Amino acid sequence: MLPNLRTGGASKTLARVLHGADQHWVGDGFPVRTLFAYPGLGPTISPFLLLDYAGPTESPPTQKSLGVGPHPHRGFETVTIVYSGEVEHRDSSGGGGKIGPGDVQWMTAASGIIHEEFHGHDFARKGGVLEMMQLWVNLPAKAKMLPPRYQLITDHQIPTVALPAASGHVRVIAGECLGVRGPAQTSTPINLWDIQFTTPTKLSLPIPEGYTAILVVRKGSVSVSSGETVDTAEVGLFERAGDHINIESASEASILLLAGEPIDEPISGSGPFVMNTAEEIKQAILDFESGRMGQPRGTGA
């Protein structure tokens, strides 16, 4: 029998393994691989939209401001998790701050936000390894035009749950694990777990029946109950039937587990805007071009 975080019924089966595209640059500071995106996957990965994995990449010391200048978003949330390096942010809602290793930035664009993201000043001057992930999370129609919100979640605010048999730990960023709740405020039910396996293990991870479940491997490889393996910078997408995922082997692996209640609504997207209809996209573009979304005014550090 597998050591379970929670007993349950049938396990979710692995539907497919996604292999990330070639690396491309976002601005001049973030070389990323898009591991999954909603064009072509849309309802299958709901409520999630996109995941970019940056690094690990060595950044030489520089006096330049490397990153992405002011740009808009509407209709969804961006979740940035830093594993190595530093990122500074500021936006038109007044939100801003610096996040480093273990920290998370949860930005709800909602009705519209202009923000910018750059390497942290100290990190840029010293250089070093940059490694981070940015997840896009969709919002339901009723929340797409609410005021924007910014959450800066530091590493020490994220609770840790030990895995059975001293096989590793779970950082609970959002949702709940073994009765421990993560600090992130989410617009729909979401579990976002950052998991580190330190020894060979077999494990059952609870995911509610009907939820989308996505396993992202950052380091190492993970075998699931079907016998298939998900390797570094690959994504395992599971069927929604079942209430847990069986991990058969995960020696010294680091994974990000995403689980969420699907949003059963149309998706219409264009660049930095994700809405429900093409007309709403046209309005978003008009609002941005007319200056209605403002300009970044928060402090970046």
Which pLDDT value is given to residue 26?
92
Per-residue DSSP letters for the chain? -PPBSS--SPBPPEEEEEE----EEETTTEEEEEEEESTTTHHHHTTEEEEEEEEEEEE---SS--EEEEEEEBSEEEEEEEEES-EEEEETTS-EEEE-TT-EEEEE-TT-EEEEEEE-HHHHHH-EEEEEEEEEEE--GGGTTSPPEEEEE-GGGS-EEEPGGG-EEEEEEESEETTEEPS---SS-EEEEEEEE-S---EEEE--TT-EEEEEEEESEEEETTS-EEETTEEEEE-SSSSEEEEEE-TT-EEEEEEE----S--EEETTEEESSHHHHHHHHHHHHTTTT----S---
pLDDT exceeds cutoff 60 at 4: no
Least confident of 6-20, 56-70, 115-129, 198-212: 6-20
Which pLDDT band holds residue 165 (cuts at 50, 70, 90)?
A: confident
* Prediction pTM value: 0.94
pLDDT exceeds cutoff 80 at 18: yes
Least confident of 129-133, 152-156, 166-170: 166-170
Q: Cα(275)–Cα(262) distance, rounded to whole angstroms?
A: 15
pLDDT exceeds cutoff 60 at 291: yes
Percent of the residues in the chain that have a pLDDT greater than 90, as a whole number: 80
For 71-84, the pLDDT digits (tens) are 999 999 999 999 99
Burial of residue 60, with CB atoms counted within 10 A of its CB: 0-12 exposed, 13-18 middle, 19 or more buried:
exposed
Which pLDDT value is given to residue 166?
84
pLDDT exceeds cutoff 50 at 1: no
Mean pLDDT (the chain, rounded) = 92
For 101-112, the pLDDT digits (tens) are 999 999 999 999
Higher pLDDT: 256 or 97? It is: 256
Query: Which tokens hold the place of 190?
Result: 């979401």
Q: Which long-range contacts (CB under 8 A, 24 or more apart) does 19-26 make?
A: 19/234, 20/53, 20/233, 20/234, 20/235, 26/52, 26/54, 26/68
Q: Cα(52)–Cα(132) distance, rounded to whole angstroms?
A: 8
Which pLDDT value is given to residue 2?
41
The rounded Cα 169 to chain-centroid distance in angstroms is: 18
Q: Is the peptide bond before 101 cis (omega within 30 degrees of 0)?
A: no
Which pLDDT value is given to residue 184?
98
pLDDT exceeds cutoff 90 at 123: yes
Higher pLDDT: 1 or 63? It is: 63
pLDDT exceeds cutoff 70 at 301: no
pLDDT exceeds cutoff 70 at 86: yes
Which pLDDT value is given to residue 300?
52
For 196-241, the pLDDT digits (tens) are 999 888 889 999 999 999 999 999 999 997 789 999 999 999 999 9
**Residues with Cβ within 8 Å of residue 199, at least 6 apart in sequence:** 165, 166, 167, 168, 251, 252
Query: Which tokens hold the place of 267?
Result: 């998706």
pLDDT exceeds cutoff 80 at 298: no
Identify whether the C-beta of residue 207 lies closer than 8 Å to the C-beta of residue 10. no
CA angle 121, 126, 128 (to 5 degrees): 105
